[in-house]
Structure 1
Amino acid sequence: MEPIDNVVGSKSPTAVAINSASKAGEWIKSRLGMYKQLDTKLSPQDLVTDVDKGAELMIRKLILTHFPDHDILGEEGVPPGAAASEAALAKARSSEYLWIVDPVDGTTNFVHGFPFFCVSIALAHRGEVIVGVIYDPLRDELFVAEKGKGAYVHGNPTRVSEDAELSGSVVAVGFNPDRQFALPTNMKGINALALQTRSIRAGGSAALHLAYVAAGRLSGYYEVGLNAWDVAAGALLVKESGGIVTDTTGNPYDLGVRHLVATNGKIHGELLQSLKDAGATGMQ
């Protein structure tokens, strides 16, 4: 692949993504426990604060300062619900360069002071993610991936785990705020995986779950009902760390995938089969 800097121009989009995530993350950290406005979106469990909105505005300004002709798909600029998310992505797919931003992935955790949330920023070139950055401000952990160049945390290469069987693996799951479709489907998968894995975890941030798969801290992650901004950066991290990311039936990841499985690759087939047997793929 042509070097990313050459594709975009003289400025490094990776550096811009890192700078934007770091500055937004530090501001978010400073506002922990001090948000001024709390609203709900899709359901009473789907939260948004003034901090989410302020962080996204900050990130947008930082990106557009360097790349004014690029498009941005941010969570807080899209109405809640699967249909709205799919419509926004369909409109954005035609962009040559599309930044995909989740200013606070794990808002419920942020609101309750549970220390597991992050900033997620990805850049897609003609629909393919080429840069992914996830920043956890409380741990000051910066995960960075560039297509074809590997993935890193604190400058050290990340690699997926070596767990070869589901029975010896720790796998993350999500309790989706969509109580009508996604959560009941996820519960089927959770019930199955709880019996077949070493243990399951539900941290409440899709992006950090994916970063942890990339870093080998988890061997897999599964959730139905996600959005592009939840997973775009993390999916690249996993792939550049030697893992596999697909939908819940095994089709390769693209920006439109909402039902996601990401693993170290070694347990991928077994996990997919488990979800299929449990009727937990979310597919018709």
Structure 2
Amino acid sequence: MENRKYLDELNVAVRVVHMACSLCEKVQKQLLSATTDQVKSKDDDSLVTVADWSVQATVSWMLSESFGRQKTSIVAEEDIQTLSKPESSSLLAMVVDAVNGCLAEAPRYGLRGPEKPLCASQILDAISQCNSTGGPLGRHWILDPVDGTLGFVRGDQYAVGLAMIDEGEVVLGVLGCPNYPLKDDELNNYSQQNIVTSKISSGELGCVMYTSKGSGKAWMQPLVQVGKKLEGTNSAKLVQVSSIEDPESATFCEPVERTNSNHSFTAGVATTVGVRKKPLRVYSMVKYAAIARGDAEIYMRFARSGYKEKIWDHAAGVLIVQEAGGVVTDAGGRPLDFSRGIYLEGVDRGIIACSGIKLHGKIINAVYSSWESSNL
């Protein structure tokens, strides 16, 4: 990495995300094999699982241990409101087990875990410590413990996203994608069944992508296999965006969920610009990973009116795409602003990520022409 300023932070972040992915895989296997109360409904009707709380506790504890609790500001999605209720005691016990099981594995990833297992109050404290609101001053870690929770509970795509903002700019991005096929073009062919079965038969699923601002490089490591140790940077290879510039040959991604995205407008833009292929509907920031690795060329996201994008849904993925050679802006062509708290304020209509500047320009032009004829 050319940018050595954040080398220690990136080194720890990559290892911690590997740990988090391992935790998620274990919880997902339990979830798919049994009906338990591991899934609770949040007030906003989205799903939250044992994995969300456990990853947040694990990452929070590891970052605080590595860089000092007083110096560690973390912006993250989950709070302990549900988990602290007396009726959630069995759920909390599962979180405690998952966290301690993960932390005990820290030496496999080149990190130091606690001397003895953490108690429930320590774990609740670690989750609660992620109460920063970010902003333009200082350093803030941005965590999405399980991005794409619906994909997670269905055995489909999801991601662990960890980024760092320094003085309002995203400077580090780490994205763990436990169900991402390692072979090129396999994302097009996946289904829930072959994700679950191929994981058992081939082990060719799962990676961690990472980068630092200004490095001009993004890296990918396969997930650590059971019983193995993380080999540091030896297992990493460079990823780069696709060189396709013609919309007719391009693959485009969009969110699966209709609740906060407008599929019909996206389809109109795709038609206007000449995209021929059907959209690749993918849960989570795996869409950014697909652009960075060259499996797709376009990602369009147009939220429904009133929906505000949160920084943890984008920070890690955006930087990885940019350093892999791609372009990410709002639909007006302006850079995304991660310096204004937990929301991406001032987003013009939507978010556009592309593999290159020419393709990006064509999409932006198509957005303008489609917008005027739409009723949005």
Which range, TM-score by smaller chain?
0.7 to 0.9
- Give the direction of change, closer, same or farther, for the CA distance of 1:167–1:21 in structure 2 (3 Å limit): same
**1:144 to partner: Cα distance:** 0.9
Letter of the structure 1 residue corresponding to residue 170 of structure 2: V
Question: Which structure carries more strand by proportion?
Answer: 1
Confirm or deny that 1:202 pairs with 2:204.
Answer: no
Offset at residue 186 of structure 1 (A): 4.1
Q: What SS does the corresponding residue of 1:100 show, helix, strand or coil? A: strand
CA contact (8 A) 1:189 1:278 kept: no
Distance 1:192 1:41 in 2: 33
Cα deviation, residue 230, structure 1: 1.1
Q: TM-score, normalised by structure 2?
A: 0.64
Per-residue deviation, 1:153:
1.1
SS at match of 2:243: coil
1:78 to partner: Cα distance: 10
1:163 is matched by which residue type in structure 2?
I
Distance 1:162 1:110 in 2: 31
> Relative to structure 1, is the Cα distance of residues 77 and 191 closer, same or farther in structure 2, using a 3 angstrom cutoff?
farther
Secondary structure of the structure 2 residue equivalent to 1:279: helix
1:278 partnered with 2:370: yes
- 1:160 match: secondary structure: coil
Over 3 Å counting, the alpha-carbon distance change for 1:37 and 1:248 in structure 2 is: same
* Structure 2 partner of 1:8: none
Residue in structure 1 matched with residue 198 of structure 2 by the alignment: none
Aligned residue runs from structure 1 range 53-202, under 5 A:
53-67=53-67, 68=69, 69-77=71-79, 91-114=133-156, 116-138=157-179, 139-149=205-215, 150-154=217-221, 155-176=236-257, 179=259, 182-183=260-261, 185-193=262-270, 196-199=274-277, 200-202=279-281
Deviation at 1:212, TM superposition (A): 1.3
> Is the CA contact (8 Å cut-off) linking 2:75 and 2:133 kept in structure 1?
no
How much has 1:16 moved relative to structure 2?
A: 1.2
TM-score by length of 1: 0.83
What whole-Å deviation, never above 9, does each CA across 1:158-208 have from its counterpart, x for those lacking one?
11111112221001011446x3xx43x343113442673132111111x11
**CA distance in 2: counterparts of 1:21 and 1:191, whole angstroms:** 37
Q: Secondary structure at the match of 2:163?
A: strand
Q: How has the CA–CA distance of structure 1 residues 43 and 273 changed in structure 2, closer, same or farther, with 3 Å as cutoff?
A: farther
| 1:71–1:95 CA contact under 8 A, matched in 2 | no
Shift of 1:40: 3.2
Q: Where do 5+ consecutive residues of structure 1 fail to align?
A: 6-10, 80-87
In the aligned structure 2, how far is the partner of 1:224 from the partner of 1:96? 31
Partner amino acid, structure 1, of 2:317: G
Contact 2:74–2:132 (Cα < 8 Å) also in 1: no
The amino acid across from 1:222 in the alignment is: M
The answer to whether the 8 A contact 2:269-2:363 is kept is no
Amino acid at match of 1:59: V
The secondary structure found in structure 2 opposite 1:278 is helix
Q: Contact (CA 8 Å) 1:173, 1:190: kept in 2 or not? A: no
Q: Distance in 1 between matches of 2:131 and 2:311?
A: 8
In angstroms, what is the RMSD of aligned CA positions?
Answer: 2.7
Cα 1:132–1:78 shift into 2, 3 Å: farther
| Candidates 322, 330, 354, aligned match of 1:263 | 354
Aligned pairs for 1:233-244 within 5 A = 233-244=316-327
Contact 1:176–1:224 (CA under 8 A) maintained in structure 2:
no
Q: C-alpha separation between the residues in 1 aligned to 2:77 and 2:267? A: 26
Per-residue deviation, residues 88-123 of structure 1 (Å, max 9, x unmatched): 999420441111111111110111112x11211001
Structure 1 residues 91 and 106, CA gap change in structure 2 (3 angstroms): closer
Q: What displacement does 1:244 show? A: 0.7
Residue 34 of structure 1: SS of its match in structure 2? helix
Match in the other structure for 1:246: 329
- Structure 2: unaligned runs, 5 residues or longer: 32-36, 82-129, 180-204, 222-235, 304-308, 339-343
**Are the counterparts in 2 of residues 102 and 120 from structure 1 also a CA contact under 8 Å?**
yes
**CA 1:157–1:73 in 2, change beyond 3 Å: closer, same or farther?**
same
8 Å contact kept, 1:224–1:260: yes
CA distance in 2, matches of 1:153, 1:224: 28
Task: Out of 141-150 and 223-232, give the one that drifted further.
Answer: 223-232
CA distance in 1, matches of 2:164, 2:29: 30
